[in-house]
Amino acid sequence: MDIVIKIPDIGIDQAEVIDILVHVNDIVEKEQSVIVIEGEKASMEIPSTHCGKVKEIKVKVTDIVRQDCVIMILEPVEDVLIPLDHVKENIKIIENRVFIIHASPLIRRLARSLNINLKKIIGSGRKNRIMKHDLDNYLINVNSHTNNRILSIKNQEHTCNFDFSRFGEVEEVKCSKIKKLSGDLLSKNWSKIPHVTQFDEVDITDLEAFRIKYNNKIQNKSKKFTLLTFIVKAITKGLEKFPYLNSTISNNGEIIFLKKYINIGIAVNTSNGLLVPVIKNVQNKSLSHIAYEIYQKSNSARLGKIKISDLQGGCFTISSLGGIGGTAFSPIINASEAAILGVSKFCYKPIWNGTAFIPKLILPLSLSYDHRIIDGVEGAKFISYINELLVDIRLLLV
């Protein structure tokens, strides 16, 4: 008959299994400890009530057990001749599992939370009792080893020694300084800032009709309105209404700096890489002035004549791929800004007006924002407000 080993009356309602001291097929002696449990104030070893061979273990580490809970099943071994070597081996295993680890319930809980195997630590306390500083020293050593390993892996990742020419012709092109700098910044921003991207579509049918009509009367190319002119103006009013999108969070995450000025960066693709000229104090500028600055600074960036000061001080960035294509994308925030707007290519779509489908010119927008500063509700309200302004550009004058 199989022998059932249960939790005896331990004086508490329940406890957690923190260690199992035997395995299936182990031979256990009567009164030998088989598991360790821990209550709120103390840990204790539960002994076997019989001698036998472990047939099945009914619990696992982290299980909650109570009085009379079955923890394992034994096969009787009274009539079985156990080789002396096997007995000695089991005694040695038992000693290694049970008597070396001396630690308080607090230390055991802390070790489990840190995923530390206490068997790997030699305690500095009495009878090799493991103390808190022993855990600290172990973590320092492990982290040091891990960091060195990660650094080595990263160095290997950045050094590609694979011979791609085995599969065909390969041309090596040196990465430009701008691409290297922007690549490092984008990688850092993506990994450090918790991004959320909100998508929307704007009906710009009336806006585009007005823009074309206005530009037909303007001879000077630098004064013509682009779609970006209206978007910059709309973003300006949006930042005035929702100031947290015009802010910067401190490195420790405890302070948010709300800016009283509005400087908007315009991402420009150049032959050397991406540059972001900044139009400053946009809140004080008319549509004509904004159109002129976009034209001048974009050209300066493409010609490589942009001033360093014109690339600094941005509060919010607009990245427009409308002239290239695509239906939507998720732009990466420029630290230390709180948000960035992506603009994709507009196209005509059939929109239901309640009685029929009407062709409307639809502009896709995508707003990425720092979720540490801006929650989903505020992000949605901001892009909805931008939508409202672009649908009826008369609101830009209010």
Neighbours of 183 (CB within 10 A): 13
For the chain, how long is the longest CA-to-CA vector? Answer: 109
Question: pTM of the prediction?
Answer: 0.60
Domain ranges of the chain: 3-99, 180-397
Asked if the domains 3-99 and 180-397 are classified in one and the same CATH topology, the answer is: no
Task: Name the percent of the chain in helix, strand, coil, to the closest 5.
Answer: 40, 25, 40
Given a cut of 70, whether residue 51 has pLDDT beyond it is yes
153, 270, 276 from 303: Cα distances, Å: 39, 8, 14
Mean pLDDT across the stretch 103-128? 77
The domain made up of 3-99 has a fold known as: OB fold (Dihydrolipoamide Acetyltransferase, E2P) (2.40.50)
- Mention the CATH class of domain 180-397: alpha beta
For residues 326 and 374, which has the higher predicted lDDT (pLDDT)? Answer: 374
Which stretch of 7-11, 175-179, 373-377 has the lowest confidence by average pLDDT?
A: 175-179
- Triad 22, 23, 25: Cα angle to 5°: 120
pLDDT of residue 186: 85
Sign of CA dihedral 131, 137, 140, 144: negative
Mean pLDDT across the stretch 182-203? 91
Active site residue 50: no
Strand boundaries in the chain, DSSP class E: 3-6, 15-20, 27-28, 33-38, 43-47, 52-57, 64-65, 70-75, 195-203, 247-249, 256-258, 264-266, 268-270, 273-275, 278-279, 316-320, 339-343, 347-352, 357-370
Whole-angstrom distance, CA of residue 331 vs CA of residue 318: 9
Given a cut of 70, whether residue 98 has pLDDT beyond it is no
pLDDT of residue 149: 52
Residues whose CB falls within 8 Å of the CB of residue 238, separated by 6 or more in sequence, listed in order: 245, 382, 385, 386, 389
Whole-angstrom distance, CA of residue 363 vs CA of residue 295: 21
* Reported confidence tier of residue 97, pLDDT bands at 50, 70, 90: very low
pLDDT of residue 262: 97
**CA 371 from centroid of its chain's CA atoms:** 11
Interval 311-344: pLDDT, tens = 999 999 999 998 888 889 999 999 889 999 999 9
Work out whether strand 264-266 and strand 316-320 pair parallel, antiparallel, or are unpaired: parallel
* Reported confidence tier of residue 225, pLDDT bands at 50, 70, 90: very high
Q: DSSP 3-state assignment of 377?
A: helix
With a pLDDT cut of 90, the percent of the chain lying above it is 52
Residues whose CB falls within 8 Å of the CB of residue 127, separated by 6 or more in sequence, listed in order: 102
Mean pLDDT across the stretch 343-370? 95
Annotated catalytic residue, options 50, 195, 289, 371: 371
Q: What are the structure tokens assigned to 304, written together?
A: 């490589």
Given a cut of 50, whether residue 80 has pLDDT beyond it is no
User: DSSP readout, 61-90?
Assistant: TT-EE-TT-EEEEEE--TTSPPPHHHHHHH
